[in-house]
Amino acid sequence: MTTKPKKQWLAIAAVLIVTLVLGAFIVSGKKSSSGGDEHGHQEAEAGEAHKDDDKHAEAEKPAKGPHGGKLLKSGDYAVEVTIFETGVEPQFRLYTYLGGKPIDPAQSQIQLSLLRLGQPPQAFTFRKEKDYLLGDAVVEEPHSFEVKVAATYAGKTHELGYEQVEARIAMSDDQLKSAGVELGVAGPAKIGTTLRLLGEVKYNSDRTVQMVPRLAGLVEQVLVSAGDTVRKGQVMAILSSQVLADQRAELLAAQQRLSLARTTYEREKKLWEEKITAEQDMLSARSAMQEAAIAAQSAQSKSASLGGDAASGGLTRYELRSPIDGVVTEKRISLGEAVKEDSAVFTVSDLSSVWVEAPVSSQDLGGLAVGQPTQVRANAFEATATSKVTYISALVGEQTRSAMVRTTLPNPKGLWRPGLPVTVEVLLEEKEVPVAVSAQAVQDLRDWKVVFGRYGESLEARPLELGRSDGRMVEVKGGLKAGDRYAATNSFVVKAELGKAGASHDH
């Protein structure tokens, strides 16, 4: 009796323990489930909060106002900022609202500051004009800036603002380097006024010789060809000339007569000294000797002028020699040809210097003067040289109404060949300007002439007012100040990148 109830109590206790354990596990599971629901709810709330942040970020971008401008809000108060440029220079026009309805703009006192990259702030004041407030200055291009507005209405000041970007692109220094874009600094430069002329390289006539034989003859040998370089005294051709033979025979006869007259004189002088003959005989012999000497000298000079040297060959052999160092530019002689004494058989030119001649119209003559610096550029290949104006013709052509200007170029390497077309730039005057940029930096963008200014990691188009240019540098009258950095080389790469970025004209 006693054992059985004890076993029953043990069984009941075991059931209760299992029940308690299962109950605790169930309760723990419910709490875990409840905790999971709470975490999910928090994630949902966080997601909603993130959506609210996105909406808030979108709300920060100014909405579009009734007049198409930027609508800046502060509570119920709002200012619409527009840039109006229809028929006028770009100008700020401001419209004011309260509770979404237009109000009299005169009730608001507004100051606007415009901040551009690399420039000091520009302040605008406003006056009432019809239903808007009109700015007191032109809004210069590009319209890329930050706008800050301080609007006071009903005794309360509202700080508003926005930023818009135009004609601006971000490019790091490494990107610029890989694109070959080098930066320059705007500053003072000397810029010349030049006159550009089309000209031609010509022989230096002061160093060019037309060779003629000076006597008729038959060509026996031609020793040079066109293009050959010759030295002074070099034999270029050999002729056979009967005229020269006659002259040489006359010279030999004159020399023989002189020798005979000298011998006769010496004999008569000795006889006179020994008082064998009269003085008159000695004087007559001396006179005859002097006449023979004169005749021999005359024959010698005539033979030498013709190039006659009997020792160089037969009496008929005539050697045509170059009178200067130079190049045979023309050859008009051939073997076996009979040439006349006035035939130009060779042209020899010293090409170590050449002339460049260019026609200049009569209206441009007033600014030209001998001694002005010139730059000559070949049209057929890359070559330039500098010189000075050496000659300006005194006459103007009756038909062309132009004169001729000449410059002399050193030509030690023979690069400047006669007949080569060239461009001649004459520096008429040179002036120093306070601000200038490289001419190759200037690009066309819309209807502007621009350079791309460097500001931090950005490049932004700067419309310029340009002045004089010499092709290398160009004067900047407005749009850039001394010390500003800009893309000086390969600026077209920046323009292309700007086009890819799709820069817009934002108002």
Q: Which CATH number fits the domain that encloses residue 276?
A: 1.10.287
Cα separations in angstroms, 208 against 203, 215, 324, 355, 379: 7, 21, 9, 11, 25
Q: Supply the pTM of this predicted model.
A: 0.54
Domain end, chosen from 290, 315, 340, is at: 315
pLDDT digits (tens, 9 = 90+) for 189-241: 999 888 999 999 999 999 999 999 888 888 989 999 999 999 999 999 988 87
In-domain check, residue 346: no
H or E element that contains 32: helix 3-60
- Name the token pair of 176: 């610029």
- The bridge status of strand 229-230 relative to strand 208-211 is unpaired
Q: Can you tell me whether residue 415 is helix, strand or coil?
A: coil
Smallest CA-to-CA distance from 401 within 439, 433, 367, 365 is with 365
Phi/psi for 447 (5° steps) reads: -105, 25
Amino acid at site 75: G
Residue closest to 482 by CA, chosen among 141, 167, 184: 184
* Tally of CB atoms within 10 A around 3: 6
Residue 338 and residue 240 in contact, taking contact as beta carbons nearer than 8 Å: no
Q: Based on the fold, state whether residues 155 and 174 are members of the same structural domain.
A: no
Residue ending a domain, among 262, 296, 315, is 315
Whole-angstrom distance, CA of residue 258 vs CA of residue 346: 38
Supply the range of the domain harboring residue 481. Answer: 170-192+430-501
Per-10-residue mean pLDDT for the chain, 507 residues long?
Answer: 47 50 44 36 34 40 91 96 95 96 96 94 95 95 94 96 93 94 95 91 94 86 92 90 71 84 88 85 88 83 63 70 93 90 91 95 90 94 94 88 94 92 92 95 93 95 92 92 95 91 58
DSSP helix/strand/coil, 481? coil
Strand extents, DSSP E, 394-463: 402-410, 421-438, 443-445, 448-455, 458-463
Q: Identify whether residues 40 and 71 lie together within a single domain.
A: no
Phi-psi region of 81 (alpha: psi -120 to 50; beta: other; left: phi over 0): beta
Same domain, yes or no: 72 and 157: yes
Chain center to CA of 230:
40
Q: Is residue 39 part of a domain?
A: yes
Confidence (pLDDT) at 308: 52
Are 311 and 267 within one domain?
Answer: yes
Domain end point (choices 315, 339, 354): 315
Structure tokens at 449: 């002439």
Report if residue 209 sits inside a domain: no
> What is d(CA 428, CA 409) in angstroms, rounded to the nearest whole number?
19
Are residues 107 and 142 part of one domain?
A: yes
404-to-52, 378, 388 alpha-carbon distances in Å = 81, 19, 14
The total domain count for the chain is: 4
Judge contact between 353 and 207, C-beta under 8 A. yes
Asked if residue 291 belongs to a domain, the reply is: yes
**pLDDT digits over 443-471, tens only?**
999 889 999 999 999 999 999 999 988 88
> CATH no. for residue 136?
2.60.40.3340
Does residue 292 sit within a domain? yes
Give every strand in the sheet of 338-339, ordered side by side: 317-321, 235-240, 217-222, 338-339
What pLDDT was estimated at residue 394? 87
**Do 113 and 159 share a structural domain?**
yes
70 and 160 belong to one structural domain? yes
pLDDT at 14 (0 to 100): 52
Looking at the fold, whether 448 and 486 belong to one and the same domain comes out as yes
232 is a domain residue:
no
**Does any domain span residue 286?**
yes
Same domain, residue pair 69 and 142: yes
Facing residues of 357 across strands? 200, 406
CB atoms within 10 A of CB 444: 9
Q: Is residue 273 part of a domain?
A: yes
One domain, residues 76 and 136: yes
